[in-house]
Amino acid sequence: MKLGKRLKKIDEGNNFFYLTLALIALLISSAMAEVVGTGIINHLLQLFIIITFIVCLFSLRFDRNWSRFLISLTICWVIVSVIKLALSIREMDFIMLALTFAFFFGTFKSTAKQVLFQGDVTINKVIGSVALFLLLGLMWAIVYLIVIEYSPNAFTGMEAISWGENFSNAAYFSFVTLTTLGYGDISPLTPLAQVIVYLEAIVGVFYMAIVVSSLVSANIEQREHHNG
């Protein structure tokens, strides 16, 4: 009940705060899920993902076109998840990952549209830029999990286990790469994996400069308009 009341209070002045909070909670909860038994990790992670989807939907409901798209993806994801649970069809893992990537991509595009191209620069939009960064890391993490599904030996440091058990490791590696830290405990081995990794590193290098410069220039124009 409290969650429902909170979600109803989401508006265009605070929506990115809730979106960012949900994404951070997903990352933290995925790491905490590894503490429990192996068989429970997948179910817990799926629950956390669904909660994240719901918060994303409420946060971005002001963009009606993307809202419908994201709702459709969420429904498909739940259906595929139930089929996977009931029938234990391994191929459903790829579909779930593809739908998760599509959802995060749709969320990223809708958020970028609202943060970079609509209205004045506000604290909410600054928080939205953080959400964009988190979404980039999550999208690449999903791509790494898809690669591992078809090439189990694509990375050192990540075993060929279920994607739910690997999610935390993939997210860790993704954000380490995105921020160009490169600890070296996980490394790409295959050419495809290497290409995906250095593309993420390139995006990470340019993201802050592009987004920050866009927000700064928009803020300057906003001040000049108000002063003029």
pLDDT in tens, 130-151: 999 999 999 999 999 999 988 8
Q: What is the 3-state secondary structure (H, E, C) of 104-170?
A: HHHHHHHHHHHHHHCCCCCHHHHHHHHHHHHHHHHHHHHHHHHHHHHCCCCEECCCCCCHHHHHHHH
Q: Where are the domains of the chain?
A: 2-227
Which band of pLDDT confidence, cut at 50, 70 and 90, is reported for residue 174? very high
pLDDT in tens, 64-87: 777 888 888 989 999 998 888 888
Residue 1 has pLDDT above 50, yes or no: no
- pTM for the whole thing? 0.87
Which band of pLDDT confidence, cut at 50, 70 and 90, is reported for residue 122? confident
